[in-house]
Each structure stands twice: as structure tokens, then as C-alpha cells.
Chains A and B, each alone.
Chain A
Amino acid sequence: MTLSLRALKPRIRLGSITVWVVLLLLIVIPVGGFLLVAVSPRLFNLGPQWFTLSTIRETFTGYTRKGIVDSLFVATLASLIAVTVATTMAWLVQRTNIWGRRFWSGAMWLLLLVPTWMTTLGWIDVIQPGELGTALGIHALFLYHHFFGPDGIVFVLSTAAMPFSYFVISVAMRGLGSEFEDAARVHGASRWRTIRTVLPIIAPALLSAFAISFAESMSDFGVAFTLGSAAHFPIATYVLFNAIYSFPANFQVAAVIAAVLILSTIPPVYLQSRVMRGRSFAVLSGRSKGVRRHQFSTKMRILVTAGVAVVMFIVLGLPLLGAVASSFTNTASLVTPTGIHWTLAAYRQVFSTPPSFTPLGPPLVTSNELGLITASITAVLALVLAKRLASRTSGVAQRIMDSFLLGSVAVPGIVLGIGYIFFYDQRFITQHVIDLYETMPLLIMGLVASATPGQARLLTGPVAQLQSTMSEAARVHGASKFRTWRTTTMPLLSRAVVWAWLLTFTKTISELAIAQILYQPGHEPVSVDIETYLGTIFATIGSAATVLTLVEMLGVIVLVLGLYRLVTPRGWRRLGDARNA
């Protein structure tokens, strides 16, 4: 019988209350307030009715209905593709001897931190006639037409969701002892049947990956904004954006769409909880053996590694190359009638901008400050939530929190931003509680609210892998709660937390929607600054700023990981390491 130490104080619910108060202020009340507009426009002086359902009926007709259906379709398809590819990649990297395993994991991280709007623009820089594809002698006009349609949207969303799935599944594969594979093999299972036997053991991780991929795809705005409109294939977030930024703004319809986005994530959560009933992620304990890698023959090793390289080049290398190539020119397209003209002009102009543009320096500093604060707060909050989500006592509260957090991932940044303006600009708040409108704390709160649900779910896997006896052993051997946490829990989770911190940090820097709505005037974050260049004749300066920002983010990652390596004992870093057999 294993119950956590929390069972010691069943009567104390202070922790739960604090968590829910924080979540209420960060997400529930601002977003809930905005959603209420759908049925009660009078509440925020947006219409005469205190209660009406007419907006809901209006939303489920014509253009908006199509946007919602399209979104559900592409998110499902993209998630399935992402989970399939990510599972294969995770197995190859974690459990086989392919070459460059660290490199491919690093590439996945890079893919994770590149925002979808950047990926999409990178792809346009590759396949648009006159761009990199043309320069390389590839005139694939049919690809270009396919890209501006559902195919392109599904493709980019799949590549964006792939790393989320990859990391969730990788953690499960690292923790899964090789005895299950051995058992299947010795009982006569072929290699393929062995895989089919072992995969269900990590079914909770697979479903978790699907759920988070689906939610991420549903809430993505970058692809919707850059591809959806041009492709005449409206998806929900773009329809939502249109509803708010058209004149007059239709907040009621936007609120209904936001509600649909949140509600659409309930089926995957339900599916996940059904499959996980009676199962546990708990596979990391003091008895766990290091996993053994499948050894490919040299020929297969070459083939499989080449296959992985091709996949990663397509999903990451090409769009990055497109963006980089674009930043080194100063012309409308890469290939001009007089050839390709490489220049560093855009990089020079980044720091001495044309009139009415802001040099890159101050926004980059602001973004780094935002990233530092947001990532630190989010890491703590997400860890607390992950611990609750991973709790073996699967009560109603846990299920509500699980559904709530996944639903929150599906809340587009733009909805959170507008929700914040709605709530924190209400007269009773600004005059009687606190006036946060157009301040840095409000932006940080929005960014934390946006990042926390996803990070909490990502951390749930590693947290759930910890056997409760790890901390129980510390307590019965004289360690206080704090020492138990410091000497056992923290080391075992440190790697996951560091990566969660890095992910939030980089995502904060590249975040656009919330930053655009909530930034403090005069303190633009770098994403807002870059956005001012796009669509202007100075677009190449924007590309150069994007490339520099990416490089800076990578620099921070290298620095943090280097520091982690320097300051932590060897035992902290070797957890889950696979051994070559």
C-alpha cells in the first residue's frame, strides 16, 4: 500500500487553497470574465442583454463555424502525426545506438523554441518562387500551392507539436526498464511485436503527448495568422483574432470561440484519464536499472541515422536556412534578375534603425528580464501543480485540475491578453484593488499564466516517476521536509526543472500575442519590436533581428546547461542515462 506523506495531514488544505487562489487570479477569473461576455454582454457594457444565447447560435454558422471545424480537424491530424513521428524519434534516440543522439535531442529543443510564425515565414522563404528553393534549383510550385492550405497548416502544426510529444515520450522511455523488452524477446516476439508489446506500457505518456499536442495545435496563433488567412482556410484562432481586430470588434463571438477552444480539449483529457486508470507513471525508483540500447548493425545504423537527419532537416533545418538566407539579403526576394546579393546591411541596421523603429538592444534586454522572471515563477508554480497532478489519489479535484490545466494550454495567448485587459482594467479593480494596466507586472502575470499549464503538464511525467519511497526513506532517516526536498526530490527532478525553465525562458522571449496586448509602452519586448518590421520594406532587418534573438536564446541555453553541469554533482546528471549494452 503506498500513499504519499501528504496523507499525514489530511485535514490541512492550505496548500490546495493557495494553489487554487493563484490559478483563479492568473487564469480563471480573467479568462472566465472574458468568456462571460458570450452570454452576458451587459456585464462589461458591450450590449444591452444580461443573458443571451444568440451569440452562440451566431458563432456556429458560416465562417466562424468553418473555422472551428477546420481547427478540430487540423489539430487532430497534426497531433496524430506529431505523436507518431515523436515516438519513433524518441525510441531511436533513447533506446538505440544511432549516431548523434545528443545532437538530435538538441535539435528537438531548438524546434521547440522556434515559434510557429517564424517556422512558417522560414518555409515561405524556402518555397516561394524566387527564394531559397529557387536558388537551390528546386522549382516546386505545387509544394508552394499545397503549403498555403490545410496541408501546410497540418505540416507546420505537426512540426510544432512534435517536440512536446518527443519530450513526454522520451522521459517515459528513459525510465522504462529494458526487462519488458527482454521478456517479450525471450518469449519469441519479433522486433516489431516487441515494440507493440512495450508501447502500451508507455500508453499514459503517449496519451499525454497526444493531449498536449492537440491542445497546443488548437491554441496556436502563429500558423493561423501567417498561413490561415493567405490559404483561405480559416482556423479558430484566426477567426477569433478577426473577431476582435475587425471594426466594430465582436467580443461576444470571440468569447464563444475561446470557449470552444477550451472545451475541445476535454475529450483527449477524458481519454487519457480512462486509459491511465489503475496505471502509474512510477517507473523510476532506487531499484531501476539503466536502460539498454538496441544495437543496429553498421549498415542499419547509417540508414536510420540518415533517416533521422532527413526528418530533422525538413522540419527544422530548411525553415531556419530560409530565414537566415533572407536576413543576409537586402532585396524583396533572394534570387533577383541580377543574381543573389549577399549583404550584412540588415545586421548593421538592427542596431541603428531607420526612423520610427526601435534598435534591438533595449527590447532584447526587456525580453530577457521578462524571460528570467517568468521562467523562475513558472518553474516553481508548475512544479507544485505537477506534484498535484501526479498524485496517485485520483480524486475529483485532481481530474478537475488536469482538465483545467490542459484547457488552459488551449487558451490562446490573445484570449489571455484580452481577458487580462478585461479584468484588470475594470474600474473596481483599478480604483479599489490595484492598477496594473499597462505595467510590467501585468505582462509577467499574463506570461506566467500562459506558460504554467503547459509546463505543469510537461513536468508531470518526471514527477510521477518518483516513487514515494524515495522521500519516505529520507523522512524516516531523519530528514526534515525541507532536507528531504533538497537532497532527494530536487536532485531527482533538477534536470527536468532546468529544461522547463529554459523552455519557458525562450518561449517568453518569442511570445507575441500576450506581449503585443499587455506590454508597457516604451518597454517593448523583442517579439513586438520584430513584428513592427514584418510587412514593411525593412523586413530583412526584422529577419536579422529574429536570427540574432535566436542566437541569443541559444547562448542562454548553452550558458545555463554549462552552469548546471559545473555546479551539480555527477549523480544528479546521470539519472535515466541509458547504458550501452
Chain B
Amino acid sequence: MTPSAISITNVTKSFGEKFALRDVSLELAAGTFNVLLGPSGSGKTTLLRCLAGIERPTSGTIAIGDQVVCSDQVLVGPEKRHLSMVFQDYALWPHLTVRHNVGYPLASSKWSKAQRSARVDDLLERVGIAHLADRYPNELSGGEQQRVALARALSADVGLILFDEPLSNLDADRREQLRIEIATLTRESGATAVYITHDQAEAFALADRVGVLRGGQLVQFGTPEQIYQRPADAFVAHFTGVSGEFDVEDFERRSDGLATLTLPFAPEHPIVACVPQPIDEGARASLFVRASAVRISDDCVERGLHGTVLDAAFTGRGYEHVVELAPRATLTKVFSETRYERGAAVALQLDPRSCFLMSLENERK
């Protein structure tokens, strides 16, 4: 099946007076892996369900490939959109065995019975549950059930696969393992993927393109690098993972595109940061510091910020520290291969490339 490009134009969805989506427009290239990222209530599930055809948008147009599947005049049923989906609760049919669950989408294909059976066997083998083919869903673990759901979604050889937070019910170990399998198998299939999650690490690990949603609106859409390095606003910067966020006392734009700023608790230590979006002189602003920007040392005569270690957590390859710079001003996830004990005085150097000066003037409440 040829992968499908997706075109979402001015899609709005309301439930009564509550808007779940507001005027969302998005173009997804064929064969790409796209992740919609956002907190609860941001509208990502609704957008996915509109794509699937389970919900009908209040207004707007959705096209899958060359076919308009939803507009004011057109509504194509889910079964005619040539897509498949992995549900958050897996949605496996409890009265069907694993084999029949996986083979379900093939029933409407033109394949012979033998071909269908071979396809199911192949998929079960690839997701590692061939030995469970004759079991029923309630005889499987959560990870095994999710593998069945993944195999079912892959079985029909469709141009578009949707993932509705498929890993949210799994433990960390299984999540990591299945994330890799989803990424590999989906890319092997060649289909366009739309995957929703509230976990930025998962989003960045999987995506070719990430769309960040907030309050039913698409805030930013781009590559993971673009999202991470040039967040569209304070919300995106915050939601995609920061080590610390501080009110800025004063700042000054520089000719090289950077800015020099001071923090209220350390006016004697000016900090240099990127300015990813335009910001007016004198605007209310915050400094967002990515974890990767921070270098920790115990050389307290060094220039830079100074703080006290509150906590140190062993992560296997090193230690993540929480450092207090001032009351109610902390940096988290400060990595070092060596451990700094709780209460130790430390110095912190910040890499300007991963520090963002962001305006709070347009921040939506």
C-alpha cells in the first residue's frame, strides 16, 4: 500500500460549548512518522479520532492521500479510510484468539485464505508472539496484548497507521522495548504514522515530525530538533523539557542574535541565551534552561551561577543532580559522571545554545 499524505485544514471540533480543537491545520508528508504531543485536554486524542473517522469535526477538511474524507459535504466512514489504529486500551476483542484478532483486518482484503494466514503468522513472528497465537486476550500480559494490537494494525498493509498513546499502560522497561518495535515495524511497513503522546522523550525518540498541541490549537510543528532548539513559545519550551525556568530581571539583545540577561537572585552573573522568537525590549520574559545546557563543577571560584546540591540520583551512566540556586529557584536533571553529595557547593556553567530567552507577553493562560 502506498503511504498516504495527510492534509488537515482548519479543523475545529466542539462538544457543546467546549472546544476540543480550534482551527487546526497540518500537512503530513507520506511515509513519515508524526507525533502529536500535548498535555491532557490539548485535543490530540480528538484530532486522532477525527482522522480515524470515529469523530466528525464540527468544521474543516481532512484529506487522506487524494481523497477528502471529511468536509462539510463529505464524511467517509472509518472502514473506508484505509487506515489502522492501535488503541490506548488495546481494544482487542475478547472472544477472538490472538490469531483472529490479528487477521481481522485482512478479512476484507482480496487475499486468499492461505495468504492471509501466512501474513498473520509472519506478523506474529515479527512482534514475537507466534507462540501465543491460539490464546485469548485475557490470557496475555499487558505487553503481549499491546503486541497483538500492533500486529493487528500492521496486518492490513494500509497507508496510514494511528497510535493512541499505545505505551501509556505499560511499565518503563516494556515501554522502551515496544517503542523501538513500533518505530522499526512501522517504518518497515512504509505507512504514514500519526502517534499521540504526552511524553516528550517518547515523541522525540519516535518522530520525524512533532506537532505540539495546547488547548485545542497546534502551537508548533517541525522536526524534533527544531522543536527542541527553537521552541515556538514558552509553553513549547517548557513542555519539551527544561531543567529550570526563571524570571528574568533584565535583558539586552546582542548583534549576534543572542541576548545577555540577569536573574534576580544572581545579578552579578550575566547569562547569555538564545532568542528563538522575536521579543520586545522591556517585555516580561523568562529564561528556559535545557538539561543539556548545564555543566556542573565544584570549582566555586569559576564564573557562573553558584548553588547547593539538594539531591543526586544514580542513573547508570552517571548522576542527575538537583541544584538550588536560590530559594524557589532550582535546576533539575543536572548531569555529571561524578557524584556531588547533598549539601555540596557547586558552580554551574550554562551553554547559550540550550538556554532560551522567551517572552511571556503572549503566553496563553
Chain A residues packing against B (C-beta within 8 Å): 1, 3, 5, 7-10, 284-290, 467, 469-470, 472-481, 483-484, 487-488, 491-492, 569, 571-572, 574-575
Contact = CB atoms under 8 A, between A and B. Distances in A.
A289 B79 CA distance: 29
Nearest to A4: B54
B294 to A, nearest CB: 38
A287 B136 CA distance: 11
A467 B138 CA distance: 15
Contact of B93 (A10, A480, A483, A488): A488
Interface in B77-113: 77-79, 81-85, 87, 89-97, 100, 104-105, 107-108
Contact of B56 (A1, A8, A472): A8
B87 A472 contact: yes
A479 B94 contact: no
Given A472-B91, A488-B93, A571-B96, A1 B78 contact: no
Contacts of A475: 53-54, 77-79
A467 B89 contact: yes
A189 to B, nearest CB: 25
Interface in B310-363: none
Interface string B9-42: 0000001000010000000000000000000000
A477 B108 CA distance: 9
B142 interface: yes
Contacts of A9: 56, 75
A476 B84 contact: yes
Interface stretch (B44-52, B118-126, B244-252, B274-282): B44-52
Nearest to B90: A286
Contacts of A483: 107-108
B94 A7 contact: no
A479 B91 CA distance: 14
Given A286-B145, A575-B95, A476 B89 contact: no
Contacts of A574: 95, 136
A475 to B, nearest CB: 4
Given A287-B145, A571-B95, 18 more contacts: A1-B20, A1-B46, A3-B55, A8-B53, A8-B75, A10-B56, A285-B91, A286-B90, A286-B92, A287-B90, A467-B89, A472-B52, A475-B53, A477-B84, A477-B153, A477-B156, A479-B104, A483-B108
A109 to B, nearest CB: 23
A492 B56 contact: no
A467 B55 CA distance: 16
B223 to A, nearest CB: 28
B97 A469 contact: no
Interface string B149-180: 00011001000001000000100000000000
A565 to B, nearest CB: 15
Nearest to A468: B54
Contacts of A479: 79, 104, 107-108
B211 interface: no
Contact of A284 (B79, B94, B97, B104): B94
B55 A478 contact: no
Given A1-B46, A7-B55, A287-B145, A478 B108 contact: yes
Contacts of A481: 77
Q: Which of B54, B100, B156 has the most CB of A within 10 A?
A: B54
5 contacts: A288-B138, A472-B87, A473-B85, A481-B77, A491-B96
Contacts of B3: none
Given A472-B78, A575-B95, A290 B54 contact: no
B137 interface: yes
Contacts of B97: 571
A287 B78 CA distance: 23
B55 A476 contact: no
Contacts of B105: 477-478
B138 A290 contact: yes
Contacts, number: 128
Contact of A469 (B87, B145, B153): B87
A285 B54 contact: no
B85 A287 contact: no
B45 A480 contact: no
B138 A472 contact: no
A472 B77 CA distance: 11
A522 to B, nearest CB: 46
A286 B144 CA distance: 12
A578 to B, nearest CB: 11
Contact of B152 (A10, A284, A477): A477
A575 B82 CA distance: 30
Interface in B48-69: 49, 52-56
B52 A476 contact: yes
A470 B93 contact: yes
Nearest to A285: B89
Given A477-B105, A478-B79, A469 B91 contact: yes
A479 to B, nearest CB: 6
A492 B94 contact: yes
Contact of B142 (A5, A287, A290, A572): A287
Nearest to A286: B92
B78 A288 contact: no
B81 A286 contact: no
B89 A469 contact: yes
A473 B169 CA distance: 18
A113 to B, nearest CB: 27
B56 A286 contact: no
Contacts of A1: 15, 20, 45-46, 49
Contact of B85 (A8, A285, A476, A487): A476
A180 B125 CA distance: 35
Nearest to B54: A472
A263 B54 CA distance: 39
Contact of A286 (B46, B79, B89): B89
Contact of A288 (B77, B79, B84, B94): B94
B76 to A, nearest CB: 10
B89 A287 contact: yes
B95 A478 contact: no
B94 A476 contact: no
A16 B82 CA distance: 30
Contacts of A287: 89-90, 92, 137, 142, 145, 169
A476 B78 contact: yes
Nearest to B88: A469
A473 B91 contact: yes
Contact of B81 (A473, A476, A484, A491): A476
A340 B153 CA distance: 73
A574 B45 CA distance: 32
Contact of A470 (B91, B145, B162): B91
Contacts of A492: 93-95
A303 to B, nearest CB: 32
Contact of B77 (A8, A285, A290): A8
Contacts of A7: 54-56
A472 B89 CA distance: 12
A310 B146 CA distance: 47
B184 to A, nearest CB: 21
- Nearest 8 A/B pairs, CB to CB: A286-B92, A571-B95, A469-B91, A473-B91, A477-B105, A475-B78, A478-B108, A476-B78
Contacts of A491: 93, 95-96
A369 B298 CA distance: 92
Contacts of B93: 286, 470, 473-474, 487-488, 491-492
Q: Which of A9, A475, A487 has the most CB of B within 10 A?
A: A475
Contacts of B107: 478-479, 483
Nearest to B148: A286
A37 B235 CA distance: 68
Contacts of A288: 94, 138
B95 A286 contact: no
